Amino acid sequence: MVELIELSKTYQSKNKTVHAVDNISLKIENGEIFGIVGYSGAGKSSLLRCINMLEKPTSGQVLIDGTDITKLSLPDLRRLRQSIGMIFQHFNLIANRTVAGNIAYPMEVAGKSKAEIANRTAELLELVELSDKANVYPAQLSGGQKQRVGIARALANDPKLLLCDEATSALDPKTTRSILNLLKRINQQLGISIVLITHEMEVVKEICHRVAIMSEGKIVETGTAFQIFANPQEEITKGFVNSVLDIQLPAHLLTDKGDNKQLIKVVFKGKEAEEPIIDSMLRNFSVKANFLHARIDYIQDTPMGVFVLELAGDLAERERAIAFLDRETAGTEVIPYVS
């Protein structure tokens, strides 16, 4: 387990103190994928680098399996870092080494035997599906392949913890999905804890178990990935969630249609997203519904649905129908027409 206790990191810049990490306390459980989300300058990278002491915290503690690594001697810290792998946004591969050579490098530094290095390199090449690229140089690889090499290199010394610094932000959407699937498989098969920093909520939706939202050096909200998407509390969190789930209806659909119609947004969470609640409403109340938007996302295999419909009928029936939806779903919202 990783535990941060009142962790701070400050920098001096042109007579100004910058609080990159500001008194953060956080627990990351063994075997989970933990996302740290924030805009550029929020302090995400500084926080991540404090976890493996690439940045020395100004104050506070970093506990890994109960050991405060801020108090370790340099030799002990070097040994501990062998149990922490790191994946970088821009890959950081050694240009004059082959794929196999890049993967082998951390094991060479750790003093492993040639036989150990050869066996482990072959295992990792198979794991990241690059066995046919062992003798190829980085310049001959695609971005996704380079990141697979970076992941294999990070796993070379059998780490307990994997730190990912914007590991997919330099990749196209299709390649991003393949890398996230690989990280998910590594987490499930090897039980490795993963801390992943990102500004992309699609990444969080696809892979993270729990999430912390970071702003101006502070953690402003934490929760499971589903909690964060289904019920964001802070405005910055709502902004991140809306970047993935926001509904933008064309102007003509928002034009006032008269007194007997209104637009309704309905949110479903969990099992209710798979229940025929809308069908029940239409059968039990004298209203008609025109669907303008419908979407169901799966966050850690739990469904969350957002529907927008135009509800038609007399006012009393519409109010009864909306009250029914309020009771049976996660909530409704009336979207005002534009005159």
Q: CA 182: distance to chain centroid?
A: 14
Give the model's confidence band at 339: pLDDT under 50 very low, under 70 low, under 90 confident, else very high: low
Query: For the structural domain made of 251-335, what CATH number should be given?
Result: 3.30.70.260
* pLDDT over threshold 90, residue 244: no
Q: What is the mean pLDDT of residues 21-44?
A: 94
Residue 255 DSSP class:
B
What average pLDDT does the segment 197-206 reach? 91
Mind listing the pLDDT tens digit for each residue in 117-127?
A: 999 999 999 99
Q: How many residues does the chain have?
A: 339
- pLDDT computed for residue 12 by the predictor: 86
For the segment 211-223, the average pLDDT, to the nearest whole number, is 96
Residue 21's pLDDT is what? Answer: 94
Instruction: Give 29's DSSP letter.
Output: -
- pLDDT higher than 80, residue 284: yes
Residues 313 and 42: their CA atoms lie apart, in Å, by 49
User: For residue 194, which of 151, 162, 157 has the smallest C-alpha distance?
Assistant: 162
Q: Is the pLDDT of residue 258 over 80?
A: no
Sketch the domain layout of the chain as residue ranges.
2-243, 251-335
pLDDT exceeds cutoff 80 at 139: yes
In this structure, the strands spanning 218-224 and 16-28 are: unpaired
| pLDDT given at position 89 | 85
Write out pLDDT tens, residues 69-109. 999 999 999 888 889 999 988 889 999 999 999 999 999 99
Tens of pLDDT, residues 184-201? 999 999 999 999 999 989
- The sheet carrying 261-269 orders its strands as 288-299, 302-312, 261-269, 331-335
What average pLDDT does range 275-295 have in this prediction? 90
Beta bridge partners of 115: none
CA distance 115 to 132: 20
In the CATH scheme, what is the homologous superfamily, with its name and number, of domain 2-243?
A: P-loop containing nucleotide triphosphate hydrolases (3.40.50.300)
What contacts 28, CB < 8 A, 6 or more positions away? 1, 2, 3, 34, 193, 195, 210
In angstroms, the CA 93 to CA 140 distance is 12
| Position 273, amino acid | A
pLDDT digits (tens, 9 = 90+) for 140-160: 999 999 999 999 999 999 999
